[in-house]
Structure 1
Amino acid sequence: MNEVPYFKTTNAEMYYEKKGVGPVLLFIPPPGLGAAVFEQQSELEKDFSVVTFDPRGNGKSESGDNQTLTMENWAEDIRDLIDHLDEKVILCGYSLGGTPAQITALQYPEKVKALLLVNAFPVVNTFFLSVKFKLGIWSASGGLLGLIGNGLSFTHTKKKEQQRKISANIKNSNSTLLKQMYKSGKMYDAREQLKYLTCPAFVLYGSADVLTLKYVKGFQKRIPDLAVTRIKGGAHQLPTKHAGEVNGAIRQIKGRLQS
């Protein structure tokens, strides 16, 4: 069964897609990229009910009357989507999408079956990642969504139609809320809370990702019984550029949860 509806959260209607059958696998994208960045995960629809969405003020989702958007606000919207789905989920956060995913798993453990972090981080405290966040804030502040949309779509995929969708999603986003997402994400620090995770947790990372590679050991130190999968040669854009390995790792997670 395929669904292309909206769900209601605090003062906004937000766009999501649900396709496939099986356990609910909910993907959380980085700012601006929206559901389009997970197109390569459509092959998982034979094994999961795959859910993707545009966060508040991103792409096809409304902004509501929010002039700020914190990581906690983002997690509240994810909670409302899970309530709408009416089923516990396997939560998969990619890049900055991993931050509200961590918060959701910590604050609403009864709603999360497992947590998967793909090239994610608990805090922004390394040089390259800090620079990327500063560029995101600067681009959103300077009205350069068209430029950043073209750049991010090109670096994520060679598929022209997917490039078009990602670029359009970013251009159609609320620049004020994108800036707030980057600013809040840059300041958030989940490290001291990670030991309280109660669901099974998994980290998937690319060995060539200069942005997040240094965070893997920190996750291993703080999350009990963490399972880690390394994708050799993978840079930051794992869901699009290493989709086969990402999808294979997710299928293995399903098997581990069932065993």
Structure 2
Amino acid sequence: MPRCKIEYGDLYFDEIGEGDPIIFLHPPGMGRKVFRFQKPLSEQYKVVFPDLSGHGESTALLKKVTIQKYAEEVLKLADFIGLKKVALCGYSSGGSIAQEFALTYPERTAAIILSGGFAEVNSPSLKYEHLMGMYLVKNSPKTLAKVIATAHTFEKNYRAELIEHMLKADLETWFHFYHESLNYSCIGRLKNLNVPLLLIYGSRDFINQHLRAYERELEDFNRTIIPKVSHQVPVKKWQEFNTEIAMFLEKQSAWR
């Protein structure tokens, strides 16, 4: 497995395929294993799945976790691989990193895809989800890992793989990733988002109400609602998810 050496440790990542690059960004705790079913996209694209610092196999640890620092980390990874321009696919809070990257480094961003994404936490349900995550990281991380893994899959081996990978996370990093996601907002800068954007939500996901912020602030973006699924679209509806990504990126000419 390749590793990217940065000043505060090593970032581990999987890199598969050839073509236009997509970097996938995971939510707090989960690591790259949550993107198991996006590997088939390597038939068309170069897909990159990092364990962000403090997660999975990565030995890198940020002294202070912020969404901005994670965006810088993604830039260092892109530089290490030699990618001039990348598409970013952020899942849940990973989408905050994708948005921050696109706003800070627009010249390096080909497109962003947000699965269950939000510009800020502005609903009681999503705030509660973050606070509960923070509580369980502090008090029972094994319980949290089991709850998250079971929400994604009932397949025994994959569930065990997700749990094992989550429990490799540095607990302080896991906690502060939740905290920073809870307090992050790019609402005031959304009008400056000048890269192609695709929003993907499950029809049963309460987070899809956050679509309204993008409708208020942006005139031109793509959206799709996947039926009969809640938040875990990349795993539970991966065929539809991958198809939407491929169709969206085929329309873009930012790399060319």
Alignment counterpart, residue 176 of structure 1, candidates 172, 179, 195:
172
In structure 2, give the amino acid aligned to 1:252.
Answer: M
Alignment counterpart, residue 116 of structure 2, candidates 111, 115, 119:
119
Q: Is 1:241 matched up with 2:239?
A: no
Shift of 1:9: 2.5
TM-score, scaled relative to structure 2? 0.95
Q: Is 1:93 matched up with 2:90?
A: yes
Cα deviation, 1:69-99, whole Å, max 9, x if unaligned, reads: 0111111111111111222111110100000
For residues 194-209 of structure 1, what are the structure 2 equivalents within 5 Å?
A: 194-209=190-205
In structure 2, give the amino acid aligned to 1:135.
Answer: M
Q: Is 1:30 matched up with 2:27?
A: yes
Shift of 1:223: 2.7
For residue 39 of structure 1, what is the aligned residue in structure 2?
Answer: 36
The 1-side partners of 2:42 and 2:247 are apart by: 15
Which ranges of 4 or more aligned residues in structure 1 deviate by more than 6 Å?
none
% identical equivalent positions: 28
- Asked whether the 8 Å contact 1:63–1:174 carries over to 2, the reply is no
For residue 160 of structure 1, what is the aligned residue in structure 2?
Answer: 156
The 2-side partners of 1:67 and 1:168 are apart by: 24
Cα deviation, 1:109-160, whole Å, max 9, x if unaligned, reads: 1111001111111111211101110011111222x22111111111111232
The 2-side partners of 1:246 and 1:147 are apart by: 28
The 1-side partners of 2:193 and 2:6 are apart by: 25
Farther-moved stretch of structure 1 (224-233 vs 47-56): 224-233
The unaligned stretches of length 5 or more in structure 2 are none
TM-score, scaled relative to structure 1? 0.94
The 2-side partners of 1:207 and 1:221 are apart by: 20
Note the aligned Cα RMSD (angstroms): 1.4
- Asked whether the 8 Å contact 1:36–1:162 carries over to 2, the reply is no
Cα deviation, 1:150-203, whole Å, max 9, x if unaligned, reads: 111111112323212211111111101111111111111110111101211111
Shift of 1:258: 4.5
